Amino acid sequence: MNSKVNDIKALFNEKLSSVSSSQQVEELRVEFLGKKGLVAELMSELKNIPNEEKKEFGRIINVLKQEIEQTVSEKRTAILEAEQQKIIDSAEQYDESLPYEIKTGSYHPITLVQRDLERIFTSMGFSIENYSEIVDDYHCFEALNIPKHHPARDMQDTYYLSTENQLLKTHTSAAQNAIMKKYGAPLRAIFPGRCFRNESTDACHENTFFQMEGIMIDKDISISNLIYFMKTMLSEVFQKDVTVRLRPGFFPFVEPGFELDIKCLNCGGEGCPSCKNSGWLELCPCGMIHPNVLSHGGIDPEEYTGFAFGLGLTRLAMMKYGVKDIRTFNSGSLKALSQFKNE
Ligand code: PHE
Protein backbone atom coordinates (compact mmCIF):
# COMPACT_ATOMS: atom_id res chain seq x y z
CA MET A 1 0.00 0.00 0.00
CA ASN A 2 2.77 2.40 0.98
CA SER A 3 4.55 1.87 -2.27
CA LYS A 4 1.38 2.54 -4.18
CA VAL A 5 0.98 5.88 -2.40
CA ASN A 6 4.55 6.74 -3.27
CA ASP A 7 4.00 5.72 -6.89
CA ILE A 8 0.98 8.00 -7.14
CA LYS A 9 2.93 10.86 -5.57
CA ALA A 10 5.78 10.39 -8.00
CA LEU A 11 3.43 10.15 -10.96
CA PHE A 12 1.58 13.28 -9.84
CA ASN A 13 4.80 15.28 -9.49
CA GLU A 14 6.03 14.13 -12.82
CA LYS A 15 2.80 15.12 -14.57
CA LEU A 16 2.58 18.39 -12.67
CA SER A 17 5.91 19.53 -14.06
CA SER A 18 4.60 19.40 -17.61
CA VAL A 19 1.30 21.22 -16.93
CA SER A 20 1.19 24.66 -18.54
CA SER A 21 -2.44 25.69 -19.08
CA SER A 22 -5.53 25.93 -16.90
CA GLN A 23 -7.13 23.21 -18.99
CA GLN A 24 -4.25 20.85 -18.27
CA VAL A 25 -4.57 21.63 -14.55
CA GLU A 26 -8.18 20.55 -14.72
CA GLU A 27 -7.27 17.34 -16.56
CA LEU A 28 -4.68 16.58 -13.92
CA ARG A 29 -7.20 17.20 -11.14
CA VAL A 30 -9.69 14.79 -12.74
CA GLU A 31 -7.04 12.14 -13.27
CA PHE A 32 -6.04 12.11 -9.61
CA LEU A 33 -8.98 13.44 -7.64
CA GLY A 34 -11.94 12.71 -9.92
CA LYS A 35 -14.63 10.16 -9.04
CA LYS A 36 -12.76 7.50 -10.96
CA GLY A 37 -9.35 9.02 -10.31
CA LEU A 38 -6.26 7.34 -8.88
CA VAL A 39 -6.95 8.46 -5.31
CA ALA A 40 -10.50 7.09 -5.44
CA GLU A 41 -9.13 3.82 -6.82
CA LEU A 42 -6.72 3.61 -3.91
CA MET A 43 -9.58 4.24 -1.48
CA SER A 44 -11.52 1.36 -2.95
CA GLU A 45 -8.60 -0.96 -2.27
CA LEU A 46 -8.85 -0.29 1.47
CA LYS A 47 -11.40 -3.07 1.79
CA ASN A 48 -8.78 -5.63 0.81
CA ILE A 49 -6.31 -4.90 3.59
CA PRO A 50 -6.38 -6.24 7.14
CA ASN A 51 -8.65 -4.39 9.56
CA GLU A 52 -5.90 -3.22 11.91
CA GLU A 53 -4.06 -1.46 9.09
CA LYS A 54 -7.16 0.20 7.62
CA LYS A 55 -7.11 3.22 9.90
CA GLU A 56 -3.48 4.07 9.24
CA PHE A 57 -3.79 3.68 5.48
CA GLY A 58 -7.01 5.66 5.43
CA ARG A 59 -5.09 8.51 7.07
CA ILE A 60 -2.21 8.24 4.61
CA ILE A 61 -4.57 8.33 1.64
CA ASN A 62 -6.34 11.42 3.06
CA VAL A 63 -3.04 13.23 3.51
CA LEU A 64 -2.14 12.36 -0.06
CA LYS A 65 -5.50 13.65 -1.24
CA GLN A 66 -5.09 16.94 0.64
CA GLU A 67 -1.58 17.45 -0.67
CA ILE A 68 -2.71 16.91 -4.25
CA GLU A 69 -5.72 19.23 -3.76
CA GLN A 70 -3.52 21.98 -2.39
CA THR A 71 -0.91 21.65 -5.11
CA VAL A 72 -3.56 21.62 -7.85
CA SER A 73 -5.16 24.77 -6.48
CA GLU A 74 -1.83 26.60 -6.20
CA LYS A 75 -0.89 25.59 -9.70
CA ARG A 76 -4.27 26.77 -11.00
CA THR A 77 -3.86 30.22 -9.44
CA ALA A 78 -0.32 30.57 -10.76
CA ILE A 79 -1.35 29.60 -14.28
CA LEU A 80 -4.38 31.93 -14.32
CA GLU A 81 -2.19 34.82 -13.25
CA ALA A 82 0.34 33.98 -15.92
CA GLU A 83 -2.38 33.71 -18.55
CA GLN A 84 -3.80 37.12 -17.60
CA GLN A 85 -0.38 38.69 -17.63
CA LYS A 86 0.10 37.29 -21.11
CA ILE A 87 -3.10 38.97 -22.31
CA ILE A 88 -2.02 42.26 -20.76
CA ASP A 89 1.44 42.03 -22.28
CA SER A 90 0.11 41.26 -25.73
CA ALA A 91 -2.41 44.17 -25.64
CA GLU A 92 -1.72 47.14 -27.84
CA GLN A 93 0.88 49.33 -26.27
CA TYR A 94 0.23 53.02 -26.02
CA ASP A 95 2.31 55.98 -25.16
CA GLU A 96 0.65 57.79 -22.32
CA SER A 97 2.81 60.85 -22.75
CA LEU A 98 1.36 61.58 -26.22
CA PRO A 99 -0.64 64.84 -26.25
CA TYR A 100 -4.39 64.47 -26.79
CA GLU A 101 -7.33 66.79 -27.13
CA ILE A 102 -10.31 66.68 -24.78
CA LYS A 103 -13.45 67.44 -26.74
CA THR A 104 -16.50 68.68 -24.91
CA GLY A 105 -19.97 67.91 -26.24
CA SER A 106 -22.42 70.49 -27.43
CA TYR A 107 -26.16 70.96 -27.23
CA HIS A 108 -28.48 70.19 -30.09
CA PRO A 109 -29.66 73.43 -31.77
CA ILE A 110 -33.28 72.64 -30.89
CA THR A 111 -32.33 72.24 -27.23
CA LEU A 112 -30.61 75.62 -27.39
CA VAL A 113 -33.67 77.36 -28.85
CA GLN A 114 -35.97 75.55 -26.41
CA ARG A 115 -33.92 76.61 -23.40
CA ASP A 116 -33.82 80.16 -24.66
CA LEU A 117 -37.60 80.25 -24.94
CA GLU A 118 -38.09 78.61 -21.56
CA ARG A 119 -35.93 81.27 -19.98
CA ILE A 120 -37.90 84.05 -21.68
CA PHE A 121 -41.32 82.66 -20.82
CA THR A 122 -40.52 81.80 -17.21
CA SER A 123 -39.37 85.39 -16.77
CA MET A 124 -42.88 86.39 -17.89
CA GLY A 125 -44.56 84.16 -15.31
CA PHE A 126 -45.20 81.04 -17.42
CA SER A 127 -44.66 77.58 -15.99
CA ILE A 128 -43.05 74.82 -18.09
CA GLU A 129 -45.10 71.66 -18.46
CA ASN A 130 -44.18 68.22 -19.66
CA TYR A 131 -46.55 65.99 -21.59
CA SER A 132 -46.33 62.51 -23.06
CA GLU A 133 -45.72 61.77 -26.73
CA ILE A 134 -48.34 59.04 -26.80
CA VAL A 135 -51.84 60.45 -26.47
CA ASP A 136 -55.41 59.43 -27.26
CA ASP A 137 -57.83 60.67 -29.84
CA TYR A 138 -59.74 62.75 -27.31
CA HIS A 139 -56.73 64.82 -26.24
CA CYS A 140 -55.20 65.19 -29.69
CA PHE A 141 -58.42 66.05 -31.50
CA GLU A 142 -61.81 65.94 -29.81
CA ALA A 143 -60.98 68.10 -26.80
CA LEU A 144 -59.61 70.59 -29.33
CA ASN A 145 -62.92 70.94 -31.11
CA ILE A 146 -61.88 68.60 -33.92
CA PRO A 147 -64.62 65.96 -34.03
CA LYS A 148 -64.17 62.63 -35.81
CA HIS A 149 -64.30 62.97 -39.61
CA HIS A 150 -63.54 66.72 -39.45
CA PRO A 151 -61.46 67.71 -42.50
CA ALA A 152 -58.91 69.44 -40.21
CA ARG A 153 -57.72 65.94 -39.30
CA ASP A 154 -56.42 65.45 -42.84
CA MET A 155 -53.60 67.88 -42.15
CA GLN A 156 -52.46 65.86 -39.18
CA ASP A 157 -52.27 62.24 -40.19
CA THR A 158 -50.05 60.43 -37.71
CA TYR A 159 -48.89 57.08 -36.40
CA TYR A 160 -51.52 55.03 -34.64
CA LEU A 161 -50.38 52.43 -32.14
CA SER A 162 -51.79 48.93 -32.10
CA THR A 163 -53.09 49.60 -28.58
CA GLU A 164 -56.61 50.83 -29.08
CA ASN A 165 -57.07 54.57 -29.40
CA GLN A 166 -53.44 55.54 -28.90
CA LEU A 167 -51.42 57.67 -31.29
CA LEU A 168 -48.29 59.78 -31.44
CA LYS A 169 -49.22 63.38 -30.82
CA THR A 170 -49.39 65.53 -33.93
CA HIS A 171 -49.09 68.83 -32.11
CA THR A 172 -48.33 70.10 -28.63
CA SER A 173 -51.92 71.38 -28.45
CA ALA A 174 -52.73 67.79 -27.40
CA ALA A 175 -51.63 68.78 -23.89
CA GLN A 176 -53.96 71.78 -23.57
CA ASN A 177 -56.88 69.87 -22.10
CA ALA A 178 -54.90 68.04 -19.41
CA ILE A 179 -53.07 71.20 -18.37
CA MET A 180 -56.29 73.21 -18.11
CA LYS A 181 -57.83 70.45 -16.00
CA LYS A 182 -54.75 70.24 -13.80
CA TYR A 183 -54.41 73.94 -13.00
CA GLY A 184 -57.71 75.63 -13.87
CA ALA A 185 -57.75 79.39 -14.50
CA PRO A 186 -55.94 81.77 -14.35
CA LEU A 187 -53.16 79.94 -16.15
CA ARG A 188 -49.89 80.69 -17.95
CA ALA A 189 -47.99 77.70 -19.25
CA ILE A 190 -45.69 76.63 -22.04
CA PHE A 191 -45.21 73.03 -23.05
CA PRO A 192 -42.47 72.07 -25.49
CA GLY A 193 -42.59 68.65 -27.07
CA ARG A 194 -41.81 66.30 -29.90
CA CYS A 195 -44.57 65.86 -32.46
CA PHE A 196 -45.12 63.34 -35.23
CA ARG A 197 -46.91 63.41 -38.55
CA ASN A 198 -47.15 60.97 -41.37
CA GLU A 199 -45.26 63.14 -43.85
CA SER A 200 -42.93 62.39 -46.71
CA THR A 201 -39.70 64.09 -45.81
CA ASP A 202 -37.95 66.77 -47.83
CA ALA A 203 -35.88 69.86 -46.99
CA CYS A 204 -38.88 71.50 -45.28
CA HIS A 205 -40.86 68.52 -43.93
CA GLU A 206 -40.06 65.94 -41.30
CA ASN A 207 -42.17 63.23 -39.70
CA THR A 208 -40.67 64.13 -36.31
CA PHE A 209 -40.32 67.73 -35.21
CA PHE A 210 -40.58 69.97 -32.17
CA GLN A 211 -43.11 72.57 -31.18
CA MET A 212 -43.62 74.77 -28.18
CA GLU A 213 -47.16 75.49 -27.21
CA GLY A 214 -48.15 78.32 -24.93
CA ILE A 215 -51.45 79.23 -23.32
CA MET A 216 -52.48 82.16 -21.21
CA ILE A 217 -55.95 82.20 -19.66
CA ASP A 218 -57.31 84.89 -17.41
CA LYS A 219 -60.11 87.44 -17.18
CA ASP A 220 -60.12 89.88 -20.12
CA ILE A 221 -57.29 88.36 -22.15
CA SER A 222 -57.41 89.73 -25.68
CA ILE A 223 -55.57 89.64 -28.97
CA SER A 224 -53.42 92.59 -27.85
CA ASN A 225 -52.00 90.42 -25.05
CA LEU A 226 -51.20 87.75 -27.60
CA ILE A 227 -49.40 90.20 -29.89
CA TYR A 228 -47.48 91.72 -26.98
CA PHE A 229 -46.19 88.36 -25.72
CA MET A 230 -45.26 87.13 -29.18
CA LYS A 231 -43.39 90.32 -30.02
CA THR A 232 -41.49 90.35 -26.73
CA MET A 233 -40.56 86.72 -27.06
CA LEU A 234 -39.36 87.00 -30.68
CA SER A 235 -37.32 90.15 -30.03
CA GLU A 236 -35.57 88.26 -27.22
CA VAL A 237 -34.93 85.18 -29.33
CA PHE A 238 -33.49 87.11 -32.27
CA GLN A 239 -31.91 89.78 -30.07
CA LYS A 240 -33.41 92.57 -32.18
CA ASP A 241 -36.72 94.31 -32.60
CA VAL A 242 -38.96 92.23 -34.83
CA THR A 243 -42.03 93.41 -36.71
CA VAL A 244 -44.95 91.00 -36.64
CA ARG A 245 -48.21 90.80 -38.51
CA LEU A 246 -51.28 88.64 -38.13
CA ARG A 247 -53.09 86.98 -40.98
CA PRO A 248 -56.27 85.00 -40.56
CA GLY A 249 -55.63 81.27 -40.14
CA PHE A 250 -57.99 78.40 -39.46
CA PHE A 251 -57.63 76.01 -36.54
CA PRO A 252 -60.78 74.57 -34.98
CA PHE A 253 -59.47 75.15 -31.44
CA VAL A 254 -59.02 78.91 -31.76
CA GLU A 255 -61.48 81.62 -32.69
CA PRO A 256 -60.34 83.90 -34.17
CA GLY A 257 -57.24 82.07 -35.44
CA PHE A 258 -54.14 83.62 -36.97
CA GLU A 259 -50.87 82.97 -38.66
CA LEU A 260 -48.25 85.19 -37.11
CA ASP A 261 -45.53 86.30 -39.52
CA ILE A 262 -42.33 88.16 -38.79
CA LYS A 263 -40.68 90.61 -41.15
CA CYS A 264 -37.79 88.78 -42.79
CA LEU A 265 -34.66 89.32 -40.72
CA ASN A 266 -32.44 88.66 -43.70
CA CYS A 267 -33.68 91.41 -45.99
CA GLY A 268 -35.71 93.58 -43.61
CA GLY A 269 -38.84 93.12 -45.72
CA GLU A 270 -37.36 93.90 -49.13
CA GLY A 271 -37.76 90.34 -50.37
CA CYS A 272 -35.03 87.68 -50.65
CA PRO A 273 -34.75 83.93 -51.30
CA SER A 274 -35.20 82.97 -47.64
CA CYS A 275 -38.61 84.71 -47.47
CA LYS A 276 -39.49 83.65 -51.00
CA ASN A 277 -39.43 87.34 -51.94
CA SER A 278 -42.47 88.13 -49.84
CA GLY A 279 -40.61 90.04 -47.13
CA TRP A 280 -42.39 87.99 -44.43
CA LEU A 281 -41.83 84.63 -42.73
CA GLU A 282 -44.62 82.50 -41.35
CA LEU A 283 -43.64 81.52 -37.83
CA CYS A 284 -46.35 80.88 -35.34
CA PRO A 285 -49.99 79.85 -35.64
CA CYS A 286 -52.04 81.24 -32.78
CA GLY A 287 -55.41 82.59 -31.73
CA MET A 288 -57.95 83.06 -28.99
CA ILE A 289 -58.85 79.74 -27.38
CA HIS A 290 -62.24 78.50 -28.61
CA PRO A 291 -64.94 78.51 -25.88
CA ASN A 292 -65.60 74.80 -26.51
CA VAL A 293 -61.96 74.03 -25.74
CA LEU A 294 -62.12 75.98 -22.47
CA SER A 295 -65.31 74.10 -21.53
CA HIS A 296 -63.68 70.74 -22.29
CA GLY A 297 -60.84 71.81 -19.99
CA GLY A 298 -63.27 72.62 -17.18
CA ILE A 299 -62.88 76.42 -17.51
CA ASP A 300 -65.93 78.66 -17.80
CA PRO A 301 -65.73 80.53 -21.14
CA GLU A 302 -68.18 83.15 -19.83
CA GLU A 303 -65.71 84.14 -17.16
CA TYR A 304 -62.33 83.54 -18.78
CA THR A 305 -60.69 84.05 -22.15
CA GLY A 306 -57.23 83.11 -23.31
CA PHE A 307 -54.81 82.82 -26.16
CA ALA A 308 -52.81 79.89 -27.45
CA PHE A 309 -49.87 79.67 -29.80
CA GLY A 310 -47.98 76.79 -31.35
CA LEU A 311 -44.46 77.86 -32.09
CA GLY A 312 -42.53 75.62 -34.45
CA LEU A 313 -39.33 75.06 -32.47
CA THR A 314 -37.69 73.23 -35.33
CA ARG A 315 -38.61 76.03 -37.71
CA LEU A 316 -37.36 78.66 -35.29
CA ALA A 317 -34.04 76.82 -34.94
CA MET A 318 -33.75 76.71 -38.75
CA MET A 319 -34.30 80.46 -38.92
CA LYS A 320 -32.10 81.38 -36.02
CA TYR A 321 -29.15 79.30 -37.17
CA GLY A 322 -29.69 79.48 -40.92
CA VAL A 323 -30.16 75.70 -41.29
CA LYS A 324 -31.40 75.06 -44.82
CA ASP A 325 -32.51 71.43 -44.54
CA ILE A 326 -34.81 70.28 -41.71
CA ARG A 327 -33.43 66.74 -41.98
CA THR A 328 -30.13 67.95 -40.53
CA PHE A 329 -31.70 68.00 -37.07
CA ASN A 330 -32.42 64.28 -36.91
CA SER A 331 -29.36 63.31 -38.93
CA GLY A 332 -27.11 62.59 -35.98
CA SER A 333 -24.31 64.25 -37.94
CA LEU A 334 -21.92 65.65 -35.37
CA LYS A 335 -20.20 67.69 -38.03
CA ALA A 336 -23.43 69.61 -38.63
CA LEU A 337 -24.89 69.59 -35.15
CA SER A 338 -21.93 70.46 -32.98
CA GLN A 339 -21.41 73.92 -34.47
CA PHE A 340 -24.04 75.65 -32.41
CA LYS A 341 -23.15 77.24 -29.13
CA ASN A 342 -25.30 79.02 -26.66
CA GLU A 343 -24.41 82.69 -26.81
N1 PHE B 1 -51.49 72.99 -33.06
C2 PHE B 1 -51.46 73.75 -34.29
C3 PHE B 1 -50.64 72.98 -35.32
O4 PHE B 1 -49.74 72.28 -34.96
C5 PHE B 1 -50.87 75.11 -34.08
C6 PHE B 1 -51.66 76.03 -33.18
C7 PHE B 1 -51.43 76.04 -31.83
C8 PHE B 1 -52.59 76.87 -33.72
C9 PHE B 1 -52.15 76.91 -31.00
C10 PHE B 1 -53.30 77.75 -32.93
C11 PHE B 1 -53.07 77.75 -31.58
O12 PHE B 1 -50.88 73.06 -36.49
Closest CA to 215 of 170, 171, 167: 171
Residue 126: is its pLDDT beyond 90?
Answer: yes
Per-residue pLDDT of 30-54, as tens digits, reads 999 999 888 888 888 888 888 888 8
Q: Is 310 in the pocket of ligand 1 (CB under 6 A)?
A: yes
Q: How would you classify the pairing of strands 305-312 and 166-168?
A: unpaired
Distance from the CA of 173 to the center of ligand 1, in angstroms?
6
Residue nearest to atom 10 of ligand 1 (CA): 286
pLDDT at 161: 93
Mean pLDDT of 44-67: 87
Average pLDDT, the chain: 90
Instruction: Say if CB 254 and CB 290 are below 8 A apart.
Output: yes
| C-alpha to C-alpha distance for 301 and 320, rounded to whole angstroms | 37
Residue nearest to atom 7 of ligand 1 (CA): 310
The 3-state secondary structure of 20-54, one letter per residue? CCHHHHHHHHHHHHCCCCHHHHHHHHHHHCCHHHH
Q: Where are the domains of the chain?
A: 2-90, 109-337
Q: Is 299 in the pocket of ligand 1 (CB under 6 A)?
A: no
- pLDDT band at residue 83 under the 50/70/90 scheme: confident
Per-residue pLDDT of 208-217, as tens digits, reads 999 999 999 9
Residues written for the chain: 343
Per-residue pLDDT of 174-202, as tens digits, reads 999 999 999 999 999 999 999 999 988 88
Superfamily for 109-337? Bira Bifunctional Protein; Domain 2 (3.30.930.10)
Q: Is 190 in the pocket of ligand 1 (CB under 6 A)?
A: no
Mean pLDDT of 232-238: 87
- pLDDT band at residue 78 under the 50/70/90 scheme: very high
Least confident stretch, 85-94, 131-140, 281-290: 85-94
Q: Is 37 in the pocket of ligand 1 (CB under 6 A)?
A: no
Out of 130-134, 273-277, 326-330, the most confident range is 130-134
Per-residue pLDDT of 280-312, as tens digits, reads 988 899 999 999 999 999 999 999 999 999 999
Distance from the CA of 171 to the center of ligand 1, in angstroms?
7
Mean pLDDT of 93-116: 86
Q: What amino acid occupies position 130?
A: N
Q: How would you classify the pairing of strands 187-196 and 127-128?
A: parallel
Long-range Cβ pairs for the range 158-165 (8 Å, 24+): 158/196, 158/197, 158/198, 159/196, 159/198, 161/134, 165/136, 165/137
pLDDT at 238: 84
Mutate to test the pocket of ligand 1, among 194, 253, 261, 316 (most ligand atoms within 8 A of CB): 253
Least confident stretch, 120-129, 198-207, 301-310: 198-207
Mean pLDDT of 227-249: 89
